[in-house]
Structure 1
Amino acid sequence: MGQVTDDPGRRRRLRRQGRAAVTILLVLAGLAAAFYYANSYFQRTAPKAAPCMTVPTAPDLAPRDVSLRVYNSTERAGLAAATAKVAASRGFRVKQVANDPLNRTIGAPAEIRYGKAGEASAKVVARHVPGAALKPDQRGDDSVDLVLGNGWKAFGPVPAPVTATPTPVPCPSSSAKP
């Protein structure tokens, strides 16, 4: 049988190989940790995917689409008629001009009365009458009552027209199976 000799050169080589193996393992562990951190960081800060397409929403109604009744709840004679002329010049379809049929005293500039079907129309009128109070009621049609109160001075400035704005629509999932 062969005799094992204690070769100092061989021990030195084995020690160097062991250190090299440990060094390589430490470098690989460091690189793995760096890739893991970078991947998790970029997943947290990545921008959200843009929507596939946009669908324009319908613009608000125009004054020409609003059926308006102008009522006077003040003691000022002719206020409803003068206001109705201005409303018509702004494009509103004025259907009636009279004193307030409910005989209420309104301290605010105006009160806008409307039913469920006239909510969009009431919002159009409210854009023209700053400070008006929106008052829903039980009517079934889309007509709107503009009731002038003691605080009424005049219509506000003509608002800018509302245009259609695109609404993002989410992309269908690519993982959906047919």
Structure 2
Amino acid sequence: MTSPHRPADPRHGRPAPRPEPQWSDPRHDEEGRRIFTEDDLTDYFEAVDPRVLARDRRRRHWWHAIVLTVVALLVAAGTVTAWQVLRGEWTIPGWEAAPPPEPLLCPAGTVEYALDSTVTVYNGTSIGGLAGDVANALEERDFVIGGVGNKGFSTSNMVAVVVSGKGGRGTSLAVQRNIEGAVYLPDRREDDTVDVIVGRKYKGLRPAGDVSRKPGPLDCQRLETESPSGG
């Protein structure tokens, strides 16, 4: 007779055995991965030899000391090197200071009177319209005017300053001949343009009939004159 609670085993005519209960391990998740509890961690760390922990701490301290020492040596070496470079006791290839430019000298000899260079007139004062008036006056005497503008100078208490490179010396002489009292100032420009900076002492152009067109020297006043071989 079969039990009313269990189905009979059709092969033997006996009740089927009860299935074993499936107990889950609380230290594993559903995918079989181990879950460490607080007790597991406590047991692990208590099992570590204190001497091993002390040895690891000493190693870390040694490494920290070595790193700090290396950094301190690098900083000290950089400081000493920078100080020697600043004092000129040691030079780094490619870091040498560029030699100072040679001083500009007043051209020696005479230059030809010319009107072929472009002249730009600047107002070196606070007087409105001064540059335009001078430019118009020079244009009436066949100068080629490139423009007008404002430009500060070390002093405005002057008649005018004429600035050019080697190529504009002839026109610079012509400007000086027409603006009595104008001072020539050479610069290192490579083109033949001429700049005229007008100051407060400008009173007008010299009468056209009094302007000499003969070759002559440029008037630099305070500048030292270069040797004749300097061109």
Q: TM-score range by the shorter chain?
A: 0.5 to 0.7
1:81 aligned to 128, 132, 153, which one?
132
Aligned residues: 103
Among candidates 94, 100, 110, match of residue 145 of structure 2: 94
What is the TM-score normalised by the length of structure 2? 0.42
Deviations 1:15-50 (A, max 9, x none): xxxxxxxxxxxxxxxxxxxxxxxxxxxxxxxxxxxx
As a proportion of its length, which structure holds more strand? 1
Kindly provide the amino acid, as one letter, of the partner of residue 84 in structure 1: A
Within the alignment, does 1:66 sit opposite 2:106 as a pair?
no
- One-letter code aligned to 1:130: E
Secondary structure class of the residue paired with 1:112: strand
Q: In 2, distance between residues paired with 1:133 and 1:160?
A: 17
Per-residue CA deviation, residues 109-152 of structure 1 (Å, 9 max, x unaligned), is 00001112211221111111110111111111111111101111
Equivalent residue, structure 2, for 1:112: 162
> Percent identity at matched positions?
32
Q: Superposed, which structure 2 residues align to 1:1-178 within 5 Å?
A: 60-63=112-115, 65-100=116-151, 102-158=152-208, 159-162=211-214
Contact 1:116 1:142 in 2 (8 A): yes
Mind listing any 5+ residue stretches in structure 2 that lack a counterpart?
A: 1-110, 216-231
2:149 alignment partner AA: A
2-structure distance, mates of 1:94, 1:79: 15
Question: Residue 68 of structure 1 contacts residue 95 of structure 1 at CA under 8 Å; is this kept in 2?
Answer: yes
Distance, in Å, in 2 between the alignment partners of 1:160 and 1:113 is 20
Matched to 1:151, the amino acid is K
1:92 aligned partner, one-letter code:
F
Instruction: Give the Cα separation in 1 of the matches to 2:212 and 2:165.
Output: 25
Contact 2:158 2:201 in 1 (8 A): yes
Bigger radius of gyration? 2
CA contact (8 A) 2:113 2:213 kept: no
- Measure how far apart 1:156 and its partner are: 1.2
CA RMSD of aligned residues (A): 1.9
- 1:162 deviates by 3.6
In the alignment, the residues of structure 2 paired with residue 139 and residue 150 of structure 1 have an alpha-carbon distance, to the nearest angstrom, of 26
Q: What displacement does 1:62 show?
A: 3.6
Distance 1:107 1:81 in 2: 19
Consecutive aligned runs of 4 or more in structure 1 exceeding 4 Å deviation: none
